[in-house]
Amino acid sequence: VICYIGIGSNLDNRRKNILRAIGLLKKDKNIKLIKKSRLYETNPLAGPAQGKYLNAVLKIETVYSPHTLLDKFKAIESALGRRSSSIKWSARTIDLDILFYGKRIIKSKKLTIPHPEIKNRIFVLKPLTEIAPGLIHPVFRKTAKRLLKEYCIPHKK
Ligand code: PH2
Ligand code: MG
Ligand code: MG
Protein backbone atom coordinates (compact mmCIF):
# COMPACT_ATOMS: atom_id res chain seq x y z
CA VAL A 1 0.00 0.00 0.00
CA ILE A 2 1.27 3.48 -0.90
CA CYS A 3 1.32 5.83 2.08
CA TYR A 4 2.30 9.42 2.68
CA ILE A 5 4.03 10.29 5.92
CA GLY A 6 4.49 13.64 7.60
CA ILE A 7 7.72 14.05 9.51
CA GLY A 8 8.77 16.91 11.78
CA SER A 9 11.26 17.94 14.45
CA ASN A 10 11.84 21.07 16.47
CA LEU A 11 14.18 19.91 19.24
CA ASP A 12 17.93 19.19 19.35
CA ASN A 13 19.55 18.60 15.95
CA ARG A 14 16.40 18.71 13.81
CA ARG A 15 17.99 17.62 10.53
CA LYS A 16 19.82 14.76 12.21
CA ASN A 17 16.62 13.59 13.91
CA ILE A 18 14.76 13.51 10.62
CA LEU A 19 17.59 11.76 8.78
CA ARG A 20 17.89 9.17 11.56
CA ALA A 21 14.14 8.50 11.46
CA ILE A 22 14.31 8.03 7.68
CA GLY A 23 17.29 5.69 8.20
CA LEU A 24 15.27 3.55 10.61
CA LEU A 25 12.31 3.46 8.20
CA LYS A 26 14.60 2.30 5.38
CA LYS A 27 16.00 -0.48 7.57
CA ASP A 28 12.54 -2.03 7.91
CA LYS A 29 12.11 -4.69 5.25
CA ASN A 30 8.38 -4.09 5.16
CA ILE A 31 8.74 -0.40 4.36
CA LYS A 32 10.08 0.90 1.06
CA LEU A 33 10.94 4.57 0.76
CA ILE A 34 9.81 5.78 -2.65
CA LYS A 35 10.15 9.55 -2.49
CA LYS A 36 11.05 12.27 -0.05
CA SER A 37 10.44 15.99 -0.20
CA ARG A 38 13.01 18.60 0.69
CA LEU A 39 13.21 19.74 4.28
CA TYR A 40 11.19 22.87 4.98
CA GLU A 41 11.76 25.20 7.90
CA THR A 42 8.34 26.13 9.24
CA ASN A 43 6.87 28.25 12.00
CA PRO A 44 5.22 26.23 14.77
CA LEU A 45 1.48 25.98 14.24
CA ALA A 46 -0.71 25.68 17.35
CA GLY A 47 0.49 24.54 20.77
CA PRO A 48 2.62 26.48 23.27
CA ALA A 49 5.45 28.81 22.20
CA GLN A 50 8.24 26.68 20.73
CA GLY A 51 11.05 26.71 18.19
CA LYS A 52 10.76 26.39 14.43
CA TYR A 53 10.34 22.99 12.86
CA LEU A 54 11.95 21.17 10.03
CA ASN A 55 9.25 19.29 8.13
CA ALA A 56 9.14 16.90 5.20
CA VAL A 57 6.74 14.44 3.58
CA LEU A 58 7.68 10.91 2.54
CA LYS A 59 6.05 8.54 0.08
CA ILE A 60 6.46 4.94 1.18
CA GLU A 61 5.14 1.54 0.26
CA THR A 62 4.34 -0.91 3.03
CA VAL A 63 2.63 -4.22 3.72
CA TYR A 64 1.92 -3.21 7.32
CA SER A 65 -1.64 -2.55 8.40
CA PRO A 66 -2.37 1.05 9.43
CA HIS A 67 -2.26 0.20 13.15
CA THR A 68 0.97 -1.78 12.81
CA LEU A 69 2.52 1.10 10.86
CA LEU A 70 1.46 3.45 13.67
CA ASP A 71 3.14 1.16 16.22
CA LYS A 72 6.33 1.09 14.12
CA PHE A 73 6.34 4.89 14.00
CA LYS A 74 5.88 5.11 17.75
CA ALA A 75 8.83 2.76 18.22
CA ILE A 76 11.00 4.97 15.98
CA GLU A 77 9.86 8.09 17.87
CA SER A 78 10.87 6.60 21.20
CA ALA A 79 14.13 5.21 19.77
CA LEU A 80 14.98 8.81 18.87
CA GLY A 81 14.24 9.91 22.42
CA ARG A 82 10.82 11.47 22.06
CA ARG A 83 9.32 12.04 25.49
CA SER A 84 5.59 11.73 25.82
CA SER A 85 4.10 15.04 26.82
CA SER A 86 0.70 15.76 28.32
CA ILE A 87 0.65 19.06 26.45
CA LYS A 88 -0.93 18.83 23.02
CA TRP A 89 1.19 20.04 20.10
CA SER A 90 4.26 20.72 22.25
CA ALA A 91 7.87 20.61 21.02
CA ARG A 92 9.23 17.22 19.99
CA THR A 93 12.47 15.61 18.81
CA ILE A 94 10.60 13.69 16.14
CA ASP A 95 7.04 13.21 14.95
CA LEU A 96 5.91 10.71 12.33
CA ASP A 97 2.31 10.99 11.19
CA ILE A 98 0.41 8.84 8.70
CA LEU A 99 -1.18 11.35 6.31
CA PHE A 100 -2.67 8.90 3.80
CA TYR A 101 -2.86 5.12 3.73
CA GLY A 102 -3.77 4.31 0.14
CA LYS A 103 -7.26 5.65 -0.41
CA ARG A 104 -8.47 4.26 2.90
CA ILE A 105 -10.65 6.26 5.24
CA ILE A 106 -10.16 5.11 8.81
CA LYS A 107 -11.66 6.34 12.05
CA SER A 108 -10.60 4.38 15.08
CA LYS A 109 -9.79 5.38 18.62
CA LYS A 110 -6.07 5.56 17.85
CA LEU A 111 -6.07 6.57 14.24
CA THR A 112 -7.83 8.96 11.88
CA ILE A 113 -6.79 8.63 8.24
CA PRO A 114 -6.48 10.80 6.22
CA HIS A 115 -4.84 12.87 8.94
CA PRO A 116 -7.59 15.32 10.01
CA GLU A 117 -5.35 18.41 9.98
CA ILE A 118 -3.88 18.13 6.47
CA LYS A 119 -5.84 20.99 4.96
CA ASN A 120 -4.93 23.33 7.85
CA ARG A 121 -1.23 22.66 7.73
CA ILE A 122 0.95 24.52 5.29
CA PHE A 123 3.91 22.49 6.59
CA VAL A 124 2.19 19.37 5.19
CA LEU A 125 0.56 20.80 2.05
CA LYS A 126 3.73 22.41 0.72
CA PRO A 127 6.03 19.33 0.83
CA LEU A 128 3.13 17.05 -0.17
CA THR A 129 2.49 19.14 -3.27
CA GLU A 130 6.20 19.06 -4.08
CA ILE A 131 6.23 15.23 -4.33
CA ALA A 132 2.59 14.46 -5.22
CA PRO A 133 0.74 17.46 -6.69
CA GLY A 134 -1.92 15.26 -8.32
CA LEU A 135 -2.62 13.07 -5.29
CA ILE A 136 -6.35 13.09 -4.56
CA HIS A 137 -7.56 13.47 -0.99
CA PRO A 138 -10.13 10.66 -0.61
CA VAL A 139 -12.45 12.72 1.63
CA PHE A 140 -12.35 16.16 -0.01
CA ARG A 141 -11.75 14.75 -3.49
CA LYS A 142 -9.27 17.46 -4.27
CA THR A 143 -5.64 17.23 -5.27
CA ALA A 144 -2.78 18.22 -2.98
CA LYS A 145 -2.05 21.13 -5.31
CA ARG A 146 -5.66 22.32 -5.04
CA LEU A 147 -5.67 22.09 -1.22
CA LEU A 148 -2.45 24.09 -1.12
CA LYS A 149 -3.99 26.75 -3.37
CA GLU A 150 -7.10 26.92 -1.19
CA TYR A 151 -5.02 27.20 2.00
CA CYS A 152 -4.83 30.93 1.39
CA ILE A 153 -7.31 32.55 -0.96
CA PRO A 154 -7.07 36.21 -2.03
CA HIS A 155 -10.18 38.09 -0.94
CA LYS A 156 -12.00 40.20 -3.52
CA LYS A 157 -12.37 43.82 -2.64
N1 PH2 B 1 3.38 19.59 14.45
C2 PH2 B 1 2.46 19.76 15.37
C3 PH2 B 1 2.01 21.07 15.81
N4 PH2 B 1 2.59 22.14 15.10
N5 PH2 B 1 4.05 23.04 13.50
C6 PH2 B 1 4.95 22.86 12.51
N7 PH2 B 1 5.46 23.92 11.87
N8 PH2 B 1 5.38 21.61 12.15
C9 PH2 B 1 4.90 20.50 12.77
O10 PH2 B 1 5.30 19.36 12.41
C11 PH2 B 1 3.93 20.66 13.81
C12 PH2 B 1 3.53 21.97 14.14
C13 PH2 B 1 1.82 18.60 16.00
O14 PH2 B 1 2.22 17.42 15.50
MG1 MG C 1 1.90 15.64 14.19
MG1 MG D 1 2.18 12.49 15.72
Per-residue model confidence as pLDDT tens digits over 126-137: 999 999 999 999
Q: What is the pTM of this model?
A: 0.95
pLDDT tens sequence across 24-62: 999 999 999 999 999 999 999 988 899 999 999 999 999
Ligand 1 within 6 A of CB of 138? no
Sign of CA dihedral 1, 94, 82, 92: negative
The predicted model gives 64-70 an average pLDDT of 98
Could you tell me the pLDDT band of residue 83, with boundaries at 50, 70 and 90?
A: confident
How buried is 73 (Cβ within 10 angstroms: 0-12 exposed, 13-18 middle, 19+ buried)? buried
Ligand 1 within 6 A of CB of 17? no
The residue whose CB lies within 8 Å of the most ligand 1 atoms, and thus the one to mutate among 73, 120, 121, is 121
Q: Which atom in ligand 1 lies closest to the alpha carbon of residue 6?
A: 10
Look at residue 29 in the predicted model and tell me its pLDDT.
Answer: 97
CA distance 29 to 136: 27
Closest CA to 15 of 57, 56, 60, 75: 56
